[in-house]
Amino acid sequence: MILPMLICVLLLGGFIAFISERWSQDAPRWMGVITLIAEALFLTLPLSWAEYADGLSPVWLADFHGPWIPRFGIGFHLVMDGLSLLLITLTVLLGFMAVSSSWTEINNRQGFFFFNLLACLAGTVGVFLAVDLFLFFFFWELMIIPMYFLISIWGHEHRTYAAAKFFIFTQVSSLLMLTAIIALVLIRHDKVGSYSFDYFDLLDTTLEPEAAFWLMLGFFVAFTVKLPAVPFHTWLPDAHTQAPTGGSVILAGVMLKTGAYGLLRFVIPLFPDAAHRFAPVAMTLGVVSVLYAAIMAFAQSDLKRLIAYTSVSHMGFILLGVFSWNLFALQGSVITMLAHGISAAALFMIAGALQERLHTREMDKMGGFWTVLPGLSVLTLFFSLASLGLPGLANFIGEFLVLQGAFSVNRVLTIAAAVVLILAPVYALIVMQKAFYGPLRWSAPLPDAGRREWASLGLLVLIAVWLGLGPQAVLNISEPAVKNSIAMERG
């Protein structure tokens, strides 16, 4: 029961936040905080209840199975393993960050805003838990709608265009996935004689190589659009730039990870042979994303747009790591997911904080803020360094492991990807150069980071350092899940 509760708590909290606007202007925010605290408490339970996941191997920490639409063999099947646990933890953590960064930024229709925010988180948690493919698709779509509203109602100047682009990209690609899911189920039906959308049933289905390739492609496109990787990335800079800060935090920190999660959980285990044949293409796409996005980031003058491109660059590492498909590379991908979630969310929060003060995101209009905003400047420097992969911080561990794992699979691509270690400092430091160093070009008084900002960003600093210095604790949680994925594919 614990797993459906994880989703219900967020949805219920969202509804209460929606209604609570009638009582007080502040109520929705506090409702968001309370809901996330409740969610965090629920999240600690599966670990202690680990032994109750019956019928499955001990890799799965918790399990919930209920009937839904028996006509098609669709069940309400949720399971949790180390990977989903880590990603949901990240979701909850960044949920707090999103609420924190929306605290003063959102001042109209707060009830509806926090409803959408929490509903979006609920959909994301659902995606990380669902192992019935129909249910997975259901949540996959469900997390998009609230995000669409977040961007289109509370976004910046080009919000309508950005929101529609985001929605249409993800929707069309996910329809390809739906087609692939249905075709997979029908193929199994022809062989076995019964319908089932359950992941564990579909894992055992043997496929003709050609069919497997096309089905794999359907899933792959849906996940790489979400990830995103070049050439499907064009929605991302628009959506990230136009979204309100809270939306950007969720979008960059959590939603992009659903694409990586999908590749790891579904694409390769379901279609191992096709994925192996496709791996060189996918890895090339990953490396192209890494390099191209890094160069594009350097060329941006809009701070949020720059950060958005760095996200594409980091996601390229994940694509490279996942398709290398060995323990090092996969563990590296998992760490990169978490590390990028933290660093990108933090950078978006800083960009949001700057925009709230300056009402612009143009770096050409900034400059010399180090003297007036020492706190924010230090934080920006820290997360820029984290983002460029400074050893001792989380991103470094992830990138290092991915490169190490990928080297044994494809040397040329790995070496090409490693070039980003030169490009990343360039785009990370250009932010510091343009916005924080040089002569001060802003006459109006600017308040430095407040208590709320220090608390939330400080927490992220601590986590980034902790992940960078002692990643073993996290690696231990994800290792059984990753090993299990590799083993499932062999068996």
Partner 1 sequence: MNSQQLFALAPIITVAGTAIAVMLGIAVRRNFILSFSIAAIGIIASMIALGIVWRESPIQATLLLRMDAYALFYMALLLSAGLAVLGLCYDYFKAREGENEELPLLLLTALLGGAVLACSSHFASFFIGLETLSISLFVLIGYPLNQARPLEAAIKYLILSGVSSAFLLMGMAFIYAQCGELYFNDIGRYMASRQEIDVTILSAIILIVAGLGFKLSLIPFHLWTPDVYEGAPAPITAFVATVSKGAVFALLLRYFISTESYAYPPLLNTLSCIAGLSILGGNLLALLQNNVKRLLAYSSIAHMGYLMVGFIAGGSIPSAWVVESVTFYLLAYFITTIGAFGVVSVLSTPDMEADDLSEYRGLFWRRPWLAAVFTLMLLSLAGIPLTAGFIGKFYIFTDAADGGLWGLLAAVIVGSGLGLYYYLRIVIVMSMSLKATEIKPAYDWVSAVLLAVLTIALIWFGVYPNLLVDVIQSLA
Q: Is residue 148 part of the contact set for partner 1 (CB under 8 A)?
A: yes
Backbone CA torsion sign across 20, 26, 32, 37: negative
Q: Is residue 439 part of the contact set for partner 1 (CB under 8 A)?
A: no
Q: Is residue 145 part of the contact set for partner 1 (CB under 8 A)?
A: yes
Among 125, 150, 163, 296, binds partner 1 (CB under 8 A): 163
Among 40, 182, 378, 465, binds partner 1 (CB under 8 A): 182
Quick check: 320 and 412 in contact, CB under 8 A? no
Cβ closest to partner 1, residue 149 vs residue 323 = 149
Q: Is residue 160 part of the contact set for partner 1 (CB under 8 A)?
A: yes
- Tell me the C-alpha distance between 307 and 310, whole Å: 5
Burial 27-58 (b: 16+ CB within 10 A, else e): bbbebbbebbebbbebbeebeeeeeebeeeee
- Report the nearest approach of partner 1 to the CB of residue 144 (Å): 8
Q: Is residue 221 part of the contact set for partner 1 (CB under 8 A)?
A: no
Contact map string, positions 101 to 140, toward partner 1, x by CB under 8 A: --------x------------------------x--xx--
Contact map string, positions 62 to 81, toward partner 1, x by CB under 8 A: ------xxxx----------
Q: Is residue 149 part of the contact set for partner 1 (CB under 8 A)?
A: yes
- Report the nearest approach of partner 1 to the CB of residue 69 (Å): 6
Cβ closest to partner 1, residue 110 vs residue 410 = 110
Cβ closest to partner 1, residue 168 vs residue 192 = 168
Q: Is residue 211 part of the contact set for partner 1 (CB under 8 A)?
A: no
- Report the nearest approach of partner 1 to the CB of residue 389 (Å): 37
Q: Is residue 5 part of the contact set for partner 1 (CB under 8 A)?
A: no
Q: Which amino acid is at 120?
A: C
Cβ closest to partner 1, residue 143 vs residue 229 = 143
Contact map string, positions 29 to 68, toward partner 1, x by CB under 8 A: ---------------------------------------x
Q: Is residue 234 part of the contact set for partner 1 (CB under 8 A)?
A: no
Among 103, 167, 199, 220, binds partner 1 (CB under 8 A): 167
Q: Is residue 172 part of the contact set for partner 1 (CB under 8 A)?
A: yes
- Report the nearest approach of partner 1 to the CB of residue 138 (Å): 5
* Site for partner 1, residues 308 to 347, rule: CB under 8 A: none
Applying CB under 8 A, the span of 51-59, 85-93, 165-173, 333-341 interacting with partner 1 comes to 165-173
- Tell me the C-alpha distance between 483 and 53, whole Å: 18
Beta bridge partners of 75: 67
Q: Is residue 19 part of the contact set for partner 1 (CB under 8 A)?
A: no
Q: Is residue 141 part of the contact set for partner 1 (CB under 8 A)?
A: yes
Q: Is residue 186 part of the contact set for partner 1 (CB under 8 A)?
A: yes
Among 47, 168, 412, 419, binds partner 1 (CB under 8 A): 168
Interaction site with partner 1 (CB under 8 A): 68-71, 109, 134, 137-138, 141-142, 145, 148-149, 152-153, 160, 163-164, 167-168, 171-172, 175-176, 178-179, 182-183, 186
